Amino acid sequence: MALLALAVRHRGRMTDYEVVIGLEVHAQLLTHSKMFCSCPAHYLGAEPNANTCPVCLGLPGVLPTINRQAVDFTVRTALALQCDIPDFTKFDRKNYFYPDLPKGYQISQYDLPLSLNGHLEFPVNGETVRCGVTRVHLEEDTGTMHHAGDVLQSATSSLIDLNRCGVPLMEIVGEPDLRTPEAAREYLVRLRQILTYIGVNDGNLEQGSFRCDANVSLRPRGDTELGVKVEVKNMNSFRAVQRALESEIERQTAVLDAGGTLVQETRGWVEAQGRTISQRSKEQAHDYRYFPEPDLPPLRLDSAFVERVRATLPELPDARAARFQSQYGLTAYDAAVLTDTRESADAYEGLVAAGVPAKLAANWQSGDIAALANEHRLPPQESGLGILGLAELLLLVDSGAINGPTAKELLVELYLPGGDPEKLVRERGLGQVSDESALRALVDAAIEANPGAAADFRAGKQQALGQLMRAVKDATGGKADMPLVNKLLRDRLLGQ
Amino acid sequence: MTLSRDDVDHVAMLARLGLSDEEKSRLLGELEKILDHIARLQKVDTSMLAETAQVGDLVNVMRADVPEHPIGTAAALRNAPATDGNYFVVGAIQVAAESETGQ
Amino acid sequence: MSWTAGTITELAAALRNGSTTPRALLDETLAHLERSDKNLNAYLSVTQDLAVEQADAATKTLAEHPDTASLLCGIPMALKDVLCVDGVETTAASKILKGFKPPYTGTAVQRLFDAGAVCVGKTNCDEFAMGSSTENSAFGSVGNPWDVERVPGGSSGGSAATVAAGTVPYSLGSDTGGSIRQPAALTGVVGFKPTYGRVSRYGLIAFASSLDQIGPFTRTVEDCATVYAAIAGHDPRDSTCDPRAVEDPLLTLRKGVEGMRLGIPREYLGDGTEPGVRAAVEAAFKVLETQGATLQEVSLPSTDVALSVYYVIAPAECSSNLARYDGVRFGNRVERPSLTDMYLQTRDAGFGAEVKRRVMLGTYALSSGYYDAYYRQAQKVRTLVGQEFDSVFEQVDAIVSPTSPSVAFPMGSRSDPLSMYMCDVVTLPANLAGIPGISVPCGFVDELPVGLQVLAPRFADARVFQVAHAFEQATAWHSSRSPFAIEAA
């Protein structure tokens, strides 16, 4: 933050720069098998190099085959990002040597990608920002490397694991339309939300299934030509993206203000040091020698195919939130929270469909249920209770059979193992005490036992009521209908 | 089209061929001669011709997304010239010297 | 009597009437192989254990299912060393792959194994199939069984030579620019390159992916059709392998050429054609005419420039296909402390001169600034080459020509790369167009064989066999035996 303040001061004093940010996202697809061979696409947890076959090892004589699901997923993504789907597309070879790339080329897409010209809209500080999506194309992931000592620069050897090699990877290239680190972050948040919504990616930045590189440049405000572009890598959280961009903008500003010139290069974000460091210079330009992959016939995706894929697109978060507001009478905030993930929105609508009133379902789904889902990393649909069990529990609340705290205790207890809430309430006698005459007697007893609190409340001290409420609650073993207790206490104390 | 010694150096590096000076000089001459011959390609009027990357009319050749058993670590490493535990292993990656790397 | 110089048809009959057994056949084959290969160097490895196992399995199959067993069951064969066999050293005749044992078997080979084939060894060839003389092998040249001082052609020289030497009745090779047809011509055997996409390339060590096809060498056209039928057909592991049903070439084999229109491309009998070859091929044309075919001159004007197209596209693809030989996961490595030095030294030490030349040429043709002038332009002219074949095949049913402008030349006589490349001038256009082609023996010049090439439209593979068979049956050239084959018999 101190750095940012410095940047602002610099800008005030010296040239006013416009920041130009473009993001490139690599997202692994949630297919069962790899992109060009039938090895499982799930590689985490496998012994190094166990998840391989002659094809993904790049052995002599093997040939790639296209995973149909990966093509479907990429088209689905492209449609969600409002892209055009050309009717002809092909794969190309991108040639370069690196130990994590067994064939010496990556099968990717060059001049005729699967999709083009999309965009993404998202709010930043209450304003809608629109960022163009240049293209979404399909390629294969590389293997992973472990450098002795974990630092590439000084390692004397590197270990290679090809388990990840060949996992389907979508590259989503954004236009340089972003102007602040915050907008960049929000772009990623929205993109990740959409990818997870449509079921093509698990959105895990830490494990690298959703990866982001940024191109950052500065130019004097008013200029239309782009400044020298620096590519920033190694950002594996949304926070890291924002911090890395802030730090890189600060660095570039300082260089320019000092009269220096920037070099086009790749810089890595070093979280521990809070700065980017140069990874390599681009003096010797990349020459990937792209050419059409001769081992794979091209794809012709006709409109019937595209429409078939479009039919598999779920309602996207924005549209769903708007519908939640109008259909269920929710606030914009509640609707946004509930539609944050597809599981959450689906769970909410499942509860409502099972008869739980919309507002009650919203409170519980966005509150206690979401917290449990998060804690156990298990969406409500897959919990032991399931949507119907949860609905049964909430209907007990709605009917007044149990009170809120009891419902919460049962929810925590039953979320994972599941069970029959109604039966438990009966067996354990957890039914809410709502009998007015019985509660009135307990209210009187509480006032008698806590004269100080009663006097305080009568003198206008609202919070004094809490002590009295607790006394009644304890007297019922926690089962009292608390809103009713509240009313009875007030009636009695205020003499109505 | 004439080929320079720099071209040969550049292409040899792109292709990761550690050629001796003598080899490079010989290749320079040979490649120039071949390129001279190939230059007749430029005389063909191709303005009305599409590109043929592969013959035949196959399109949309795709497979079902059904996983199969991988071959496992031992088989994967069996032909490796060097390994370290269950990994393939290579020497120092001198970052500055690399003209290209993966993402 | 010895059976090893027989044909598949003869051997299959002998195995069924009890004249011989798979093991007896194998023993004779191995004995002849050992004797002849001292002079020929046709083999890079002999797979005796595999062969014994397969011969025993074949014996069982023939005993249990004599009527349904494949014609190939129990019959010895050899594989060009660019074809992967599980657990069997496969080197592509390159030092960089010395000792490499693939963990899988390629599709075409597996189909032969499933039919009961007995694989006796892996044959020598030009390194990574790059060459026209088999002199580019890292493991020594191959002698031509008609004159061991001469080359057998290439790149599948070992596969051609072993059939010509009477060791095995058939072998597999690969043809990227003529690498089956040209050595077949130079060694006096039958060699067939199928339509691109007819035989799966899975398991074939790639040279140029859009041009490579696997195909058989045999002593007769009928045998050739038999082996082709066994290896052809759709394979889900090769996306460029066509799913359309394969016409059985044996059904039309004997239909003759009566009424067929055959075209002779004037460009295929250019100034570079040796007079003896021209005379032999012209005599062959007469034979076909006598058989009832109508011959006419046709023109393929881009033949000359096709060579240039080929020498851009093939090296470009090979430069990429050979990037995997990096000393990391398999093959040989020159240890160096830094990765870049390891790459440079491994590939320098592992590849021979011709491979390096083509990798350099291809890398250059694809590199920034040159792509449009070379690779893209070559792709466009490739379209033209295909269009010219299309229009010729509107006039004629098949094309006939010499397979090679020359007969087998002395080893070491073509040191200039360009003059070596000229060997392929009449064979490589078929690879660019993806059409099928065969070479069938059609005479001799100074006791060196000459081949007649027959080309047909894509997927008309059966027609190629039909024309070649008609010619073969009208002549006796296919029964001429090399000195090695005579010794075997």
- Please indicate whether, in this complex, the C-beta atoms of B16 and C347 are within 8 angstroms of each other: yes
CA B100 to chain A, closest CA, distance in angstroms equals 6
Q: How far apart are CA A368 and CA A408, in angstroms?
A: 7
- Contact call for B17 and C344, based on CB within 8 A: yes
* Residue A472: per-residue pLDDT: 87
Q: Pick from B61, B79, B95: which is nearest to A66 by CB?
A: B61
Model pLDDT, residue C3: 75
Q: What pLDDT, on the 0 to 100 scale, is given for residue A6?
A: 46
Give the gap in angstroms from C-alpha B24 to the nearest C-alpha of chain C.
Answer: 10
For residue A421, the model assigns a pLDDT of: 87
B55–C329 C-beta distance less than 8 A: no
pLDDT tens profile A235-249: 999 999 999 999 999
Question: What pLDDT does residue A154 have?
Answer: 67
Q: Which two tokens stand for residue C391?
A: 């229009």
Task: Give how far C436 is from chain B: nearest CA, Å.
Answer: 12
Contact across the interface for B52 and C380, Cβ inside 8 Å: yes
User: Nearest Cα to C98, choosing from C333, C320, C315?
Assistant: C333
Task: Kindly indicate the confidence band of residue A282, based on its pLDDT and cuts at 50, 70 and 90.
Answer: very low
Q: Does A152 touch chain C (CB under 8 A)?
A: no
Q: Residue B67 and residue A32: Cβ atoms within 8 Å?
A: yes
Integer Cα distance of C34 and C51 in angstroms: 15
Contacts of C319 in chain A (CB under 8 A): 95, 289
Determine contact: B66 vs chain C, CB below 8 A: no
Average pLDDT of chain C to the nearest whole number: 96
Q: Is the pLDDT of residue C67 over 90?
A: no
Cα–Cα nearest to A439, from A400, A486, A495, A398 = A486
The verdict on a CB contact (< 8 Å) between C347 and B8 is: no
pLDDT of residue A151: 60
Q: What is the phi-psi region of residue C178: left when phi exceeds 0, alpha when psi lies from -120 to 50, beta otherwise?
A: left
Span between the terminal Cα atoms of chain C, in Å: 7
CB–CB of B73 and A287 under 8 A? no
Indicate the residue of C347, C367, C384 with minimum beta-carbon distance to B49. C384
* CA-based nearest distance C367→chain A, Å: 5
Task: Compare CB distances from A294 to C102, C210, C326 and report the shortest one's residue.
Answer: C210
Helix (H, G, I), strand (E, B) or coil at C457: coil
pLDDT in tens, A68-124: 999 999 999 999 999 999 999 999 999 999 999 999 999 999 999 999 999 999 999
* Range with lowest mean pLDDT among A452-456, C128-132, C286-290, C313-317: A452-456
Query: Which chain B positions have a beta carbon within 8 Å of A41's beta carbon?
Result: 67
Contacts of C125 in chain A (CB under 8 A): none
Chains that touch C (3 or more CB pairs under 8 A): A, B
Q: How far apart are CA A83 and CA A41, in angstroms?
A: 26
CB–CB of A287 and B53 under 8 A? no
Mean pLDDT of chain B: 89
Query: CA dist A298 to A432, C240, C433, Å?
Result: 67, 10, 18
Asked if B18 lies within 8 A of C326 by C-beta distance, the reply is no
Q: For A25-34, A284-293, C137-146, which range has the lowest pLDDT when averaged over its residues?
A: A284-293
**What own/partner pairs with CB < 8 Å and gap ≥ 24 does C341-345 have?**
C341/B18, C341/B91, C342/B90, C342/B91, C343/A97, C343/B16, C343/B18, C344/B16, C344/B17, C344/B18, C345/B18
pLDDT at A216 over 60: yes
State how far the Cα of C174 lies from the Cα of A30, in Å rounded to an integer: 39
The rounded radius of gyration (Å) of the Cα atoms in chain A is 29
What is the amino acid identity at position C358?
A: R
Alpha-carbon distance of A195 to A76, in angstroms, equals 9
Confidence band for A150, pLDDT divided at 50, 70 and 90? low
pLDDT at residue A431 greater than cutoff 50: yes
Catalytic residues of C: 80, 155, 179
Residues of C in contact with A59 (CB under 8 A): 84, 102-104, 324, 329-330
Q: What burial class does residue C312 get, using C-beta atoms within 10 Å of its C-beta: 0-12 exposed, 13-18 middle, 19+ buried?
A: buried
For the cut 80, the answer to whether the pLDDT of residue A155 exceeds it is no
| C210 CA: distance to closest CA in chain B (Å) | 5
| Distance separating alpha carbons of residues C454 and C193, to the nearest angstrom | 10
Q: Answer whether C332 sits within 8 Å of B55, measured CB to CB.
A: no
Looking at residue C265, its pLDDT comes to: 97
| C375–A61 C-beta distance less than 8 A | no
Per-residue pLDDT band at A438 (split at 50, 70, 90): confident
Stretch C24-30: mean pLDDT, rounded?
96
Scan residues 362-391 of C and list those with Cβ closer than 8 Å to A.
363, 366-368, 371, 375
**Which of B53, B56, B89 lies nearest to residue A159, judging by beta carbons?**
B89
pLDDT higher than 90, residue A434: no
Q: Is A66 on the interface with B (CB under 8 A)?
A: yes
Determine the pLDDT at residue C422. 83
* Interchain contact, A102 vs C324, CB within 8 Å: yes
pLDDT in tens, C194-221: 999 999 999 999 999 999 999 999 999 9
The closest CB to that of B93, out of C103, C307, C339, belongs to C339
Q: What is the pLDDT of residues A33-77, one digit of tens each?
A: 999 999 999 999 999 999 999 999 999 999 999 999 999 999 999
Q: CB distance from A312 to chain C under 8 Å? A: no
Let me know: does A329 contact A357? Beta carbons within 8 Å.
no
**C176: contact with A, CB 8 A cutoff:** no
Chain A residue with minimal CA distance to B103? A142
* Closest listed residue to residue A472, CA positions, set A492, A453, A445, A452: A445
| Chains in touch with B (≥3 Cβ pairs < 8 A) | A, C
Interchain CB distance below 8 Å, A39 and B65: no
- Residue C147 is given by DSSP the state B
Token pair of C240 as six digits: 């460029």
The stretch C382-397 carries a mean pLDDT of: 98
Kindly state the tokens that stand for C350.
């592992």
Whether chain B has a CB inside 8 Å of the CB on C345: the answer is: yes
Task: Give the side-chain half-sphere CA count within 13 A for A233.
Answer: 13
Which partners does chain A have (≥3 C-beta pairs < 8 Å)? Answer: B, C
Stretch C462-475: mean pLDDT: 98
Could you give the CA distance from residue A469 to residue A473 in angstroms, rounded to a whole number?
6
Work out the minimum CA distance from B14 to partner chain A, whole angstroms: 8
Residue A3 has pLDDT above 90, yes or no: no
Report pLDDT digits (tens) over C142-163.
999 999 999 999 999 999 999 9
Q: Distance (Å) from the C-alpha of residue A42 to the closest C-alpha of chain C?
A: 22
Per-residue pLDDT at B100 exceeds 50: no
Kindly report, residue by residue over A448-457, the tens digit of the pLDDT: 889 888 889 8
Out of A61, A156, A160, closest to residue C204 by CB = A61
Q: Tell me what pLDDT residue A9 has.
A: 45
Q: Which residues contact C295 (CB under 8 A, 6 or more apart)?
A: C262, C263, C264, C285, C288, C289, C400
Is there a contact between C407 and C186 (Cβ–Cβ < 8 Å)? yes
**pLDDT at site A5:** 43
Q: Tell me whether B36 touches chain C (CB under 8 Å).
A: no
Residue A435 has pLDDT above 90, yes or no: no
A306 interfaces chain B, CB cutoff of 8 Å: no
Give Cα B78 distance to the centre of its chain: 24
**AA letter at C442:** C
User: Is residue A153 pLDDT above 80, yes or no?
Assistant: no
